[in-house]
Amino acid sequence: MVKQTYATRVFTWFPFAVIGLLQSGNAVAAEDGPTIAKDSIQVMAFTFNVYHKSFDTWSWVPKLNFRVNGPIASGSQLYAEFNLPGGAPIKFDCKTGEVKKGFWWKTECGARDIPEDRGITYTGNVDFTIKMRNELAGTDATLFTGKMKVARVHSNEHGPKMANHFVYFVDHDWNLPIGYVFLTPDAVTKWQRPSFSAAFWFRGDFGIFEPHLFYQGNEVGKMFLGNMEMGKASCSTTEVENNTSQFVDESSAPQKARWSRVSCSFPNVIAWDKTGEKHSMSGQTGSAHLFSANPGEYELKVLWKNHLARSIKFTVGPEGKFEGDVATANKLGSDRVIVPVQIVGDQDGNWNRAAWKTEAFYGNPLTGFTAMP
């Protein structure tokens, strides 16, 4: 078993699986059977530079990442099935391990697990399912049903024999208005003193993100020792990278056909503090901001390449927990709280602002969610 970070980069492909413990900060309601965390599902089109043994035309096959909340019984096998109009379905197994209730299993499959002669050139809507069979128990259950939109753009190669060198990708514009707020356990005190985190999607190159959290019109979570800021908030972790597997012609590919989710951490914004310890230093100005002592409305503003690019508003209750969550009602399957994201400016390019209504979570739009204008 190979352990990797949460980011998934198409350029370096090999199957992996990771086992983890379900967190308890924003409790995930565990069910008796296995369930898929919907926000963990990432479906991509992996481009082969060959089609039916001809290198003049390129093709694609599915690549899939997802996380399953246990229990997963001994002898179980996860697998996926992609149904193409007028063609035979593409089926493939995903590495599967036994997992007890309260733990999760993350896996990645498809791409080079699928023979090149199964590559296709179709673009448009593709239905798919994620299933789990157990031949020991004689069961075969569907865990998720979805739909993705496959498109293509020309590669960065040009010439007489390269007219059909298309790079394929899955359109993920539906992700942009959907963000997440969540708590992260402290490295030492764990859930006695969890800190605030947020995540959102963007299109194109990473650049530099600068997060700023406001409460009642004032920025919070700022602490200094002399002129040095301590525990500065940052957006330094790219959780997911939905890139193409081949280089594209950037002049015709919107934002390089690249969608990514970045996570931002706020070490000085604390949900609650049950440690009873003093967390300050001599000469320190400013202090940690406690959600539990400051309930109400918050706004996260994010600068991207020195320009305002995101506004995320959310509400905190008197115990320091997030309110107005639609994730539970939609059985998201993770401990994160869904919040609408306002896209400010034009750094993401022209994108489909209505995609979330029908395409969110691969054809499983959210009930009770309304995107920001």
Q: What would the pLDDT profile of 103-125 be if each residue is shown by its tens digit?
A: 999 999 999 999 999 999 999 99
In contact, 199 and 263? CB cutoff 8 Å: yes
Question: pLDDT category, 3, cuts 50, 70, 90?
Answer: very low
Q: Is there a single domain that holds both residue 220 and residue 266?
A: yes
- What does the pLDDT look like over 37-63, one tens digit per residue? 999 999 999 999 999 999 999 999 999
Answer yes or no: is 59 within a domain.
yes
Answer yes or no: is 126 within a domain.
yes
Q: Is 362 left (phi over 0), alpha (psi -120 to 50) or beta?
A: left
Q: Is there a single domain that holds both residue 117 and residue 213?
A: no
In contact, 199 and 261? CB cutoff 8 Å: yes
Mean model confidence pLDDT for the chain: 89
What CATH code is carried by the domain that includes residue 28? Answer: 2.60.40.10
Burial of 100 (0-12, 13-18, 19+ CB in 10 A): exposed
> Helix or strand or coil: residue 80?
strand
Answer yes or no: is 373 within a domain.
no
Domain count, the chain: 2
Q: Which of 247, 225, 234, 244 is nearest to 199 (CA)?
A: 234
Q: Is there a single domain that holds both residue 251 and residue 107?
A: no
Range of the domain at 86: 17-170
- What does the pLDDT look like over 341-356, one tens digit per residue? 999 999 999 999 999 9
Q: What backbone phi and psi angles, to 5 degrees, belong to 368?
A: 85, 10
Does residue 8 surpass a pLDDT of 90? no
Secondary structure in 3-state letters for 100-142: CCCEEEEEEEEHHHCCHHHCECCCEEEEEEEEEEECCCCEEEE
Answer yes or no: is 368 within a domain.
no
Report pLDDT for 17: 60
Q: At residue 72, what is the residue type?
A: I
Answer yes or no: is 5 within a domain.
no
Compute the distance between CA of residue 373 and CA of residue 358 in angstroms, rounded to an integer.
Answer: 17
In contact, 273 and 291? CB cutoff 8 Å: no
N-term to C-term CA, the chain: 44
Q: Which of 1, 257, 212 is nearest to 105 (CA)?
A: 1
Q: Is there a single domain that holds both residue 337 and residue 198?
A: yes
Compute the distance between CA of residue 232 and CA of residue 257 in angstroms, rounded to an integer.
Answer: 31
Answer yes or no: is 10 within a domain.
no
Does residue 26 surpass a pLDDT of 50? no
Does residue 305 surpass a pLDDT of 50? yes
Q: Is there a single domain that holds both residue 40 and residue 140?
A: yes
Compute the distance between CA of residue 216 and CA of residue 203 in angstroms, rounded to an integer.
Answer: 30
Compute the distance between CA of residue 23 and CA of residue 98 in angstroms, rounded to an integer.
Answer: 19
Q: Is there a single domain that holds both residue 255 and residue 315?
A: yes
Q: Is there a single domain that holds both residue 152 and residue 294?
A: no
Global confidence as pTM:
0.88
- What does the pLDDT look like over 126-171, one tens digit per residue? 999 999 999 999 999 999 999 999 999 999 998 888 999 999 999 9
**Pairs from 289-296 (Cβ < 8 Å, separation ≥ 24):** 289/213, 289/215, 289/220, 289/221, 290/320, 291/196, 291/316, 291/320, 291/321, 292/318, 292/319, 292/320, 294/215, 294/220, 295/320, 296/215, 296/216
Question: pLDDT category, 198, cuts 50, 70, 90?
Answer: very high
Does residue 2 surpass a pLDDT of 50? no
Q: Which residues contact 277 (CB under 8 A, 6 or more apart)?
A: none
Q: Is there a single domain that holds both residue 82 and residue 184?
A: no
